[in-house]
Structure 1
Amino acid sequence: MAVNEAKTLVFLLTDIEGSTKLWETQRREVSQALERHDLLVQRVASEFMGKWIKQRGEGDSAFMVFTSVANAVRAAAALQRALLNPGENQMVLSVRCAIHVGEAIQRDGDYYGPTVNRCARLRGLAHGAQVLLSDAAHQIFAEAREEGFAFIDLGRHRLKDLLEPERVWQLKAEGLPEAFPELASLDYTPNNLPLQHTSFIGRAADIERLVEEVHAHRLVTLMGAGGSGKTRLSLQVGAELLEAFPDGVWFVPLAALEDPGLVPMTVAQAMRVDPTLHVDASSVAAAIGNRKLLLVVDNAEHLVDAVADLAARILEQTTETRLLVTSRQALRVAGEKTYRVDPLSVPPTGSSHDPTELLAFEAVQLLLDRARLRNDSFKLDGHNADAVAEICRRLDGLPLALELAAPKLAVLSAGELLKRLKDVFGVLQGGPRESLPRHMTIEAAIDWSYQLLEDDERALFNRLAVFRDGWTVEAAEGICGFGEIEPTRVLDGLESLIEKSLVISHQGPLGARHRFLEPVREFAVRKAAEETAMAERAARWFLEWLRQKEGSIGSENWLAAVGDEAQNLHAAVQELIELGDRQSALTLCLLIHIWWLARAQYVLGVNAIEQALACAGEAEPESVGRCLNIAGVLKWRLGAMAHAEQYFLQARDIFAQANLSSRETATLNNLALVEMDRGNTESARGYLETCLRFYESQDDLANSAKVLTNLAYLSKTKSEFETAKIEFEKGRLLAHKVGEPDLYIRATTNLADVMMLLGEYRAAESLFLEALQVSGCESEAWFPGVLEGIAYLAGKTGNFERSATLSGAAEHLWQSVAEKPDAHALALRASLESMLLDGLGLSKLKELKRKGRTLSPARLASTTRAWLEGCSPSS
């Protein structure tokens, strides 16, 4: 069954009325009563063939699942009777219950979907000791005509999900009270919140935070890009706040309004107040008076001055009224609290995705929900999971874009839709007929914001399209600051674009970074078509930027900075190639290549170098030879030995002709690696000994360390472990002495393998721990191999469950790096698999490996480090 294939289930949700106040006043009694409550929930769930999902409870609530409405009703009645008769000297807990039936998705032992959400909303209507049923649940139970149960028709009520009203029924049974106040539905609180036709997906944390913000601040402005879901979020927050505003929650849509002078009248009409004949901001505020109400003012960006004036008057002239405003820019009114509405969460980049894991991301949930509206047979499974994840990333989690993309899945597969999204504006058209014109296409939604910009802001917006994956202020000033936009004005322009929700920002380890959402970037690229010189300006700026960082190549900060700019740097290489500037293209490749090696980006590096080498144009022989040698190393890491050898030989010949002896010797070292992998150990040793003699004659300690480490590895492949142990120790000490951290760690992890094979497990533990204490180790190319080594170590020391979890994690991580395990690692893996099968059995082994695949690299590093520290004799 596909992971999102829904099952029809019955949900019984409960919570304790007034639990917060009880905790504050009678903590000891409540604690005892809750213990009894949980025991009763567990008992009735079991007695009536249901399941209590304990992790979904929030301390004062319960979440139960049944396959039969009748059993859910019996369980609710039994629970209420028991709670209402607790026994002598025990507190009576007033619990409200709701029962609903429908489809839901099961994931990791939990349940998700609109049916669950609807049941929670139904529970919110109930009073303590009351059991409510949805109309769907009532109809099913009524057909059974079971004695002892009857129902009271409470009529149709609007729930806080803002969907179609629900006909609600109250359970009537022996021992249960019948008289209750009116239900606390939207119908009994003044409001004009519009009916919604689709379910609200995700954003639970946003709603919780915004409810707090509205209580804390009288003016809250939701800011975000067009199509980011500000309107729908504001409506849900308004629904949540109904009980807090007895004079109503009033929705004021301004999107279709063009005349700023009509803003006060529009607000007055929405609130149903009767202001004086002369309607302005002050008269509206006066008409509100001391009412306690919430105004939800939607789409204020094109009328920002008028809305700001009205908000200021209301804040000055009233004491109880609050405003929740949606806008693509702030109002800039005293006391305003802005809240950034980010896109929905999207899956991280990766080579493959587990369909079950994808359901944790809000963008995936929204896409699937809306796709099933048009095509109820659409499923998320192993065949389309990667395409679905990439669609969500490609659209940057923007709700409007996802809403427009989802209907296409009725006629296209996810893979086909992904291919068509190369023309995102051509594909994402045709919103609902009732939508505003600017929400009919994603292009129109962005153009609405673009047209509100000043001329200089538009010019900067267009120039920023040159960046492929974000930028720093330094880069924006250096590349975009020329002509009519002086470098000193770029910061002000960027600040304005951020305020107007066309650019998003975040603080990273290296400082502030800015970017467009992907659909916005594509819009900017179209608008910037006439900016023909921008790509060359960017390419030459990034070349100079990296030249200035040569002194810190390979450091953590350097790797992080290059990682941030990776897409911009590779775009720069391509631009230099197109310009025919072969020398500059090769130079840029040489400046980047340490990052390719450290971050296992081998394919990316090979492609860039091969295209630069093939470029027509002049270049220095040394640059050509160095790039050929690097291409060989990258091919060797990819396991393409024939191609690697070809590049090494070409590089050797160029260096020999240019009398570059040190460079030529480096290629011999690399040729030794090829021979080693082919099993030609004597030929490999000959190359390495030649290299070592040369480097020692030049007193080149760094390269001597590399050759010593390679000689040690050669001994390891020949199972000469005692020799390998001595050589790895020499190599790593020398690497430490000359400051070669990557070489030091590779020597250390290989030495750990050798110690493990010699049965010296304590020493191996200490060496592996040393590797995992490197900052950012989970990002290194060697990390999967280290995990696999530790998995073997754990298995050999009897820690089979940890071993299996780490083994699954390592296998998963190998898929995300281009480097593949060598013959020794594969043999170790086979031995480990056999050991774990014997120790755990196939079923348990599979379960633990699945668990390992779900753990993040950072979590793996920290938990494994903690385990090794516990193993260490010094701990």
Structure 2
Amino acid sequence: MADARLPTGTVTFLFTDVAASTAMWEKAPVTMGAAMARHDELVESAVAQAGGWLIRPRGEGDSRFAVFVRASDAIAAAVGIQRMLAAEAWSTPRPIRVRIAVHTGETELRDGDYYGNTVNRCARLRSIAHPGQILLSQATVDVAAARLGDGVVLRDMGTHKLRDLTEPERVHQVAYPGLADEFPPPASLDTVTHNLPAELTPLVGRDAEVGEVAARLGSHRLVTLTGPGGSGKTRLAVAVAAEVLALHPDGVWLVELAPLTDPDLVAAAIGGVTGVRQSLHGSILDTTIEQLGAKAVLLVVDNCEHVVDAAAKAIHSLLRGTPNLRVLATSQEPLAIAGERVYPVPPLRLSDAAELFGQAAATTTPSFVIDDTNRDIVNSLCTALDGIPLALQLAAGRTRVMSPAQILDRLSDRFKLLKGGERSAPERHRTLAAAVDWSHDLLTRAEQILYRRLSVFHGGATLEAIEAVCTDADLDADEVVDLVQRLVERSLLVADHTAIDTTFSMLETIRQHARAKLNVAGETNSFRDRHLDWFRSRAEAAYHAMSGADMAYWVAALRSDQHNTRAALAWACSGGEPNKGLELGRYLRLYWHVEGIPGQGADWLERLLHLTAGERSLPRVYALASLARLRASPDADPEVLAAAEQALVMARELADAPAEGFVEYVLSFCDFHDPIAHLESAQRLMPADDPDRAAVDSNMAEAYCDVMRWDDAIRLVEPLLLRAESQGNLDSVQHLSEVYSKAARGVGHAEEALQHAERAVVVARQVGAPTRLFMALDSRIDSLLEIGDYVAAAKDAVELLTIAESVDPSFVRSLALYQAGAVAVALRRSEVGAILIWVAWRELRAAWLRVPRLVRLHERILGQARADLGDERYDQSLRRAEIMTVDHAFTEAAAKLAEWTSAAHGVDV
């Protein structure tokens, strides 16, 4: 949480970082860990003594960032840090030394952190300091000159250009008795020979990346930045080079390979930039190696991808022949050289993407600002553009004639929209299409085929799915692994390693480009059909497997597949085969239900059923019944029952007993008059190996509980639970454990009931499905209340409310509210409890009045509340409940339960 005392307006910042920390971490990680802990203690102590506040690290991991109201306090803290560090006996390979910068100016405080040019200038000032040195800006000196502490002397270091800043800075060094005093000139753009371009706009949102890459370059001689076209590789590389100027006193040279069309010219391009000319006695590469010798030089070799083999060979030779040379390369794929460290350039974080968009938009449209009226739209726009800097800048250019909302609306064809970049930019960066075409045109024929076909996937695909969907006579399945690896290396695919599997996905911008290529190839319909077929078969496999020991795996797998299954359903609705979509929906029904999103699934089935209206087929039977099951709730529309009855008639006409049995099972949820009769019919009609048969049997046992036939429920559930355990059917084990708990409570075996409820919760957490956990917790609350452990019941009720906030259908919230009320009554907070129960009862009454067990429970709880409150207060509570909304009651329940279960308040029972 942000410190409310943090100063605003004009403040003074102090930035530090540790010299050569990466190398020391690698050499002595254990010793370095203890040393950095001590470093943090000393810095925190010095900042606190001077009256400042430490914020979060700024940049690489071993940096610190503090803020002060007074500039003189910041200077005192800087001196204190250097004195403490110098006096410490360090056990690390070399003493811990830091460079410090202090700068004063106006800033913006947002969400506990500071933003703006003042922050950037302080960070850039730190980058030119040397270990042990304290540098001040002119603004800080102007403010603090009259209040310098005893012994503090300022030395004017002259004016210096700082990375990304157009205005130079007058720099001053702090001298203090006992501290190091002699340093090389500040490592600014003025003091080291280089050919880095002077950037006209500041680099936005890459401070962390600059620090990370600089640290890698400090411990490895070759670092390659990878990423798709327009991701900002070049800009980041130039920023890193400016950051590490002091480490390369013999020169920092940018070599631009993009203009080259002949790979044989790579060595000449490198030699030309470093001032080497062709020798009569050897190759230009040999001459470059000879002339560089032992010099401490950094080469930034930009855009290697189109001449990657030649660039790799040249860089490898240079590194082998020059002991102090370091190379920072940019490429859409790694160079694959021994010792190379690859750094994939990530998309901009949302806040940084919005800042870049706002900055670029203000450049073209001076009146443009991001404020409360457009912030959400800008954030959505930045998300849709994947945080790609080039895309954001091109979109910002459209603010001359369009609002952010209009730009967002037209992003379905972003390649036509996003063009017209700066005339000074390379041709490949003047339109988004040109940037991605540059990447695509470097692919081999087989890579291009797979690239375009991968566009049918949404949100990622496994290798198995890619092999099944994307291969044919033109693309052999045996090639897929190598081709996928190549596309990952070229930054056109992103690999995501999860606990379930490794999946491969495209940024949406890349996927749209690939989809356009698929359209041009005339392959869109056929491969979307294959995509639908694959996910239909995968959902079918999951439907059958979810009744076994692998339920947890399949819930997680289908959750991972959700974007693809939505895309497959959308294709079935818009151009594919609707009946395959009905089958996909049927097999997803159980997943939608356990995931707590039955409404989403029902919407898809309604669309597909409308497209197949008039047909009489098994897919329609199962889809109608699945729709009814997904819509079933105490307040369901009468059309839900009508859909199930229509499915029953059709199943009988088709003479399909398993389908008829499934519909009877669904009717037990929709027809509350006699659910047992429907379940008995389902048992008679469904084969023993039907995936839903176990659910039918366990629901029969629960139906016995509802009518308080406790002994019948126990006789049925005991063998079912043993069978479910032997089969590893987690879903049945959980449900049967809940049913057993209800039956045990019914016959007065409270402790046994709690044991079964506990087991249901354990299995539900193992499965990882929110609705399953909800029902298990609901059962455990009943048991905890029965044995008098009201505090534990209250804690479960808090979790129940949390789950209910995120799942569907809406009556689940009322059920959670009712349990919160029951807990409140048990805790003798009966006024609150009665109100919560009556609000929930309004929503649940229609269903509960048909269930004798629930009616009896309801009467018992309210009887306790009336006895506690007396008739008058009880009636007042009822009147309050009559005007209270479910949302209001839900908020009150959550607040009260949190209060009662907190350690600060405790619970007096």
Residue 329 of structure 2 corresponds to which residue in structure 1? 325
Mapped contact 1:101–1:136 kept (Cα < 8 A): yes
Do residues 437 (structure 1) and 427 (structure 2) align?
yes
Change (3 A) 1:529 1:728: same
Do residues 287 (structure 1) and 329 (structure 2) align?
no
Mapped contact 1:583–1:619 kept (Cα < 8 A): no
Change (3 A) 1:56 1:725: farther
Do residues 621 (structure 1) and 617 (structure 2) align?
yes
Residue 66 of structure 2 corresponds to which residue in structure 1? 64
Mapped contact 1:791–1:802 kept (Cα < 8 A): no
CA shift digits 1:299-356 (9 cap, x unpaired): 1222334423422442454333232221123445x5262625153276xxxxxxxxxx
Give the AA of the match of 1:69: A
In the TM superposition, what is the alpha-carbon distance from 1:629 to its structure 2 partner? 0.3
Do residues 810 (structure 1) and 809 (structure 2) align?
no
How far apart in 1 are the matches of 2:136 and 2:708? 71
Residue aligned with 1:813, SS? coil
How far apart in 2 are the matches of 1:86 and 1:537? 66
Give the AA of the match of 1:813: S
Residue aligned with 1:463, SS? helix
How far apart in 1 are the matches of 2:147 and 2:697? 85
How far apart in 1 are the matches of 2:290 and 2:455? 48
Residue 183 of structure 1 corresponds to which residue in structure 2? 186
Residue aligned with 1:464, SS? helix
Q: How many residues align?
A: 815
Change (3 A) 1:384 1:728: farther
Do residues 44 (structure 1) and 49 (structure 2) align?
yes
Change (3 A) 1:788 1:326: farther
In the TM superposition, what is the alpha-carbon distance from 1:226 to its structure 2 partner? 0.9
Give the AA of the match of 2:675: Y
In the TM superposition, what is the alpha-carbon distance from 1:519 to its structure 2 partner? 0.9
2:683 to 695, 703, 727: 695
Q: Relative to structure 2, which stretch is displaced further, 786-795 or 639-648?
A: 786-795
Change (3 A) 1:607 1:261: same
Mapped contact 1:462–1:524 kept (Cα < 8 A): yes
Do residues 706 (structure 1) and 708 (structure 2) align?
no
Change (3 A) 1:95 1:848: farther
Mapped contact 2:333–2:489 kept (Cα < 8 A): yes
Residue aligned with 2:620, SS? helix
Residue 125 of structure 2 corresponds to which residue in structure 1? 122
Residue aligned with 2:294, SS? coil
Do residues 208 (structure 1) and 212 (structure 2) align?
yes
Residue 199 of structure 1 corresponds to which residue in structure 2? 203
Residue aligned with 1:782, SS? helix
Give the AA of the match of 1:98: A
Residue aligned with 1:418, SS? helix
Do residues 224 (structure 1) and 232 (structure 2) align?
no
Change (3 A) 1:787 1:246: farther
Residue aligned with 1:344, SS? coil
Do residues 481 (structure 1) and 471 (structure 2) align?
yes
Residue 15 of structure 2 corresponds to which residue in structure 1? 13
How far apart in 2 are the matches of 1:12 and 1:671? 69
Change (3 A) 1:846 1:549: closer
Residue 494 of structure 2 corresponds to which residue in structure 1? 504
Structure 1 length-normalised TM: 0.75
Residue aligned with 1:226, SS? coil
Q: Relative to structure 2, which stretch is displaced further, 776-785 or 395-404?
A: 776-785
Q: Relative to structure 2, which stretch is displaced further, 226-235 or 52-61?
A: 52-61
1:827 to 813, 818, 822: 818
Change (3 A) 1:669 1:244: same
CA shift digits 1:783-807 (9 cap, x unpaired): 4666788899799654799779847
Change (3 A) 1:808 1:634: closer
How far apart in 1 are the matches of 2:172 and 2:745? 68
Change (3 A) 1:183 1:499: closer
In the TM superposition, what is the alpha-carbon distance from 1:436 to its structure 2 partner? 1.5
Change (3 A) 1:751 1:62: farther
1:595 to 591, 595, 599: 591
Residue aligned with 1:225, SS? coil
The correspondence of residues 796-875 of structure 1 with structure 2, limited to 5 A, is 797-798=790-791, 806=799, 809-810=802-803, 813-814=806-807, 821-829=812-820
How far apart in 2 are the matches of 1:75 and 1:819? 56
How far apart in 2 are the matches of 1:615 and 1:810? 35
How far apart in 2 are the matches of 1:789 and 1:379? 50
Change (3 A) 1:573 1:171: closer
Mapped contact 2:333–2:490 kept (Cα < 8 A): yes
In the TM superposition, what is the alpha-carbon distance from 1:821 to its structure 2 partner? 1.5
Residue aligned with 2:342, SS? strand
Residue 310 of structure 1 corresponds to which residue in structure 2? 314
Change (3 A) 1:420 1:528: same
Mapped contact 2:629–2:670 kept (Cα < 8 A): no
Give the AA of the match of 2:517: K
How far apart in 2 are the matches of 1:638 and 1:532? 49
How far apart in 2 are the matches of 1:581 and 1:32? 62
In the TM superposition, what is the alpha-carbon distance from 1:292 to its structure 2 partner? 2.9
Change (3 A) 1:252 1:748: farther
In the TM superposition, what is the alpha-carbon distance from 1:521 to its structure 2 partner? 1.4
Change (3 A) 1:130 1:228: closer
2:517 to 527, 532, 539: 527
How far apart in 2 are the matches of 1:211 and 1:410? 40
How far apart in 2 are the matches of 1:573 and 1:30? 57
Residue aligned with 2:519, SS? coil
Give the AA of the match of 2:512: E
Residue aligned with 1:329, SS? coil
Mapped contact 1:227–1:445 kept (Cα < 8 A): yes
Q: CA RMSD in A?
A: 5.4
Residue aligned with 2:190, SS? helix
Change (3 A) 1:242 1:256: same
How far apart in 2 are the matches of 1:56 and 1:26? 23
Mapped contact 1:668–1:687 kept (Cα < 8 A): no
How far apart in 1 are the matches of 2:265 and 2:37? 59
The correspondence of residues 370-409 of structure 1 with structure 2, limited to 5 A, is 378=369, 387=377, 390-406=380-396
Structure 2 length-normalised TM: 0.73
In the TM superposition, what is the alpha-carbon distance from 1:253 to its structure 2 partner? 1.8
Mapped contact 1:45–1:51 kept (Cα < 8 A): no
In the TM superposition, what is the alpha-carbon distance from 1:152 to its structure 2 partner? 4.0
2:731 to 742, 766, 769: 742
Mapped contact 1:221–1:338 kept (Cα < 8 A): yes
In the TM superposition, what is the alpha-carbon distance from 1:828 to its structure 2 partner? 2.4
Give the AA of the match of 1:607: D
Change (3 A) 1:488 1:86: closer
Residue 264 of structure 1 corresponds to which residue in structure 2? 267
Residue aligned with 2:330, SS? strand
Residue aligned with 1:189, SS? coil
CA shift digits 1:813-866 (9 cap, x unpaired): 34xx66761532232245679999989x9xxx999989x99xxxxxxxxxxxxx
How far apart in 2 are the matches of 1:751 and 1:384? 55
In the TM superposition, what is the alpha-carbon distance from 1:500 to its structure 2 partner? 3.5
How far apart in 1 are the matches of 2:519 and 2:216? 45
CA shift digits 1:17-40 (9 cap, x unpaired): 789989989999989986983574
CA shift digits 1:464-512 (9 cap, x unpaired): 3333444444444444434544555555554544443333334445554
Q: Relative to structure 2, which stretch is displaced further, 317-326 or 160-169?
A: 160-169
Residue aligned with 2:299, SS? strand
How far apart in 2 are the matches of 1:453 and 1:28? 45
Residue 653 of structure 1 corresponds to which residue in structure 2? 649
In the TM superposition, what is the alpha-carbon distance from 1:522 to its structure 2 partner? 0.9
Residue aligned with 1:429, SS? coil
CA shift digits 1:530-578 (9 cap, x unpaired): 4445423442465267548855532445455544444444444444555
Residue 873 of structure 1 corresponds to which residue in structure 2? none
How far apart in 1 are the matches of 2:34 and 2:585? 70
CA shift digits 1:126-181 (9 cap, x unpaired): 45775432234344556x88898885432222446677543323457899887655
Change (3 A) 1:484 1:704: closer
Do residues 612 (structure 1) and 611 (structure 2) align?
no
CA shift digits 1:410-445 (9 cap, x unpaired): 886665543232222233334344322211221110
The correspondence of residues 411-810 of structure 1 with structure 2, limited to 5 A, is 415-489=405-479, 493-509=483-499, 511-540=501-530, 542-543=532-533, 546-547=536-537, 550=540, 553=544, 554=546, 555-556=550-551, 557-576=553-572, 581-616=577-612, 621-636=617-632, 640-661=636-657, 663-676=659-672, 683=673, 686-692=674-680, 695=683, 706-707=695-696, 709-710=698-699, 735-736=724-725, 740-748=729-737, 764=754, 767-768=757-758, 770-773=760-763, 777-783=767-773, 797-798=790-791, 806=799, 809-810=802-803
